[in-house]
Amino acid sequence: MATWIPDPSFYPSPRMAMQAPPERLAYVAMLNTDTISRPDALGVVDVDPGSSGYGRIISRLDMPNAGDELHHFGWNACSSALCPYAPHPHVERRYLIVPGLRSSRIHIVDTKADPAHPKIVKVIEPEQLAARANYSRPHTLHCGPEGIYVSALGNGGGNGGGPGGVFLIDHETFDVLGQWEIDRGPQFLSYDVWWHLGQDTMITSEWGTPDMIEDGLNPELLLGAKYGRRVHFWDLHRRRHRQTIDLGPEYQLALELRPAHDPTKAHGFMNAVVNLKDLSSSIWLWHRDGGQWAMRKVIDIPAEPADPDQLPPILKGFKAVPPLVTDIDLSLDDRWLYVSCWGTGEMQRYDVSDPFRPKLTGSVRLGGIVGRSRHPSAEGDLNGGPQMVEVSRDGKRVYFTNSLYRSWDEQFYPEGIKSWMVKLDASPEGGLSIDERFFLRFDDGFRGHQIRLEGGDASSDSYCYP
């Protein structure tokens, strides 16, 4: 696994990574909704516009067991291995680490011999994870200078409760090293994890414990403001909790974290899925304020009035469709923020050159609870909406899928999501346009979720040089 020169897909800075060659392949987590008979899979999609297979799945790697609920995944190593203090500077970006969010099983997938036909080389069983780290339900995964950091929603006790947290995996042996936190302070709920390497700060967000989410969004818990609404700031190297920012009880489901890629910048963005007062979604900016971290809301996206007859039971009483911002992504130049509105079926693009004053510059509608907006190359209305979004390293291509999480899909799209993946072209001026050649319809029974691009993408790598 060790090499004498750094992996060519590693770049010291985001500026240099933007000059990387375009991706040819995309890897997509595919949830199988028929969990009894078929396992989930990792799909390999041809994203080379010069290929005859452009926009199609060219291979599928089935998992060895049914019922994993593949969700988020990531690389074993990335550009953070070039940090001056990295103890493993010669690791390769070779393995995809693919957790099952429901099973707590973690698959190690080798892409080197044939990137279009990856193979599973190791499986970490849930008992090993619980014994080593006392966690379950692994979620977000990031390659860091010291190893692979993974957030987990639940404890290892098998009771569906918390606390969730972060654990480390060795990125050469893939042994679970253990719980990352030395002192977790008041942190209990868990969801996303990322960091500012230049600020020696880790950041975590909150969703809920497994028993709060696995059977669907619980209206009683939601209206009681029991879901996650706090953001936690940690001393990255001392592994100790330092600060909590509470958005307020009306803001529920504080999810995705997207720090600036430039390590000299100390700001980033987070989405709050729903405001209990008006069903709006919001984007929050964290930034330094003196010696502390601070947050402020910088984008409000309102709910849209709707005929109750067009709404699923969970929304009929509100007479409105919420935007349900469930994913965001930040381009490598830290200029463009992409916002997935899963409920209204809209992908928005903001110019965040001034992070305190974002400007909406582009929008595309596909699917949606009410809109069902069509793709020019697909037959009929679309359901589901823009969800997991990924941006190419050069910032020119935007990919997304339309499924959130199985039990939540069925609440907001009770007819059953017909899953698809699309690609948009991002213009330098701020616009978005649909690539009419790229519409991938997943086979019935499968739903696409997170996308990882060959060689890295806008949410895979961290950098130590500006």
Radius of gyration, alpha carbons of the chain = 20
Sequence-distant (6+) residues with CB within 8 A of 440 are 45, 55, 56, 57, 420, 421, 422, 448
Is residue 103 left, alpha or beta, with left meaning phi > 0 and alpha meaning psi from -120 to 50?
alpha
pLDDT on residue 252: 98
* Average pLDDT, integer, range 202-221: 98
Confidence of residue 34 (pLDDT cuts 50, 70, 90): confident
pLDDT on residue 88: 77
Q: Greatest CA separation found in the chain?
A: 63
437 neighbors 370 (Cβ within 8 angstroms): no
pLDDT above 90 covers what percent of the chain? 94
Res 36 pLDDT > 70: no
**Sheet strand arrangement including 359-365:** 325-330, 336-341, 346-351, 359-365
The predicted-structure confidence for 92-122, as pLDDT tens digits, reads as follows 999 999 999 999 999 999 999 999 999 999 9
Question: Average pLDDT of the chain?
Answer: 96
Res 28 pLDDT > 90: yes
The predicted-structure confidence for 121-151, as pLDDT tens digits, reads as follows 999 999 999 999 999 999 999 999 889 999 9
Higher pLDDT, 258 or 33: 258
* Average pLDDT, integer, range 343-361: 98
The predicted-structure confidence for 403-413, as pLDDT tens digits, reads as follows 999 999 999 99
The predicted-structure confidence for 353-369, as pLDDT tens digits, reads as follows 999 999 999 999 999 99
Res 18 pLDDT > 90: yes
Q: Using CA atoms, how far apart are residues 183 and 190, in angstroms rounded to an integer?
A: 15
Q: Using CA atoms, how far apart are residues 207 and 190, in angstroms rounded to an integer?
A: 6
pLDDT above 70 covers what percent of the chain? 99
* Average pLDDT, integer, range 423-442: 98
The predicted-structure confidence for 366-379, as pLDDT tens digits, reads as follows 999 999 999 999 99
Res 314 pLDDT > 60: yes
* Average pLDDT, integer, range 439-452: 96
pLDDT on residue 196: 97
pLDDT on residue 146: 85
* Average pLDDT, integer, range 338-361: 98
349 neighbors 337 (Cβ within 8 angstroms): yes
Confidence of residue 71 (pLDDT cuts 50, 70, 90): very high
Res 270 pLDDT > 90: yes
Only one residue has tokens 């429901």, namely 102
Predicted TM-score of the model (pTM): 0.97
Res 2 pLDDT > 70: no
Q: Using CA atoms, how far apart are residues 326 and 301, in angstroms rounded to an integer?
A: 12
* Average pLDDT, integer, range 350-355: 98
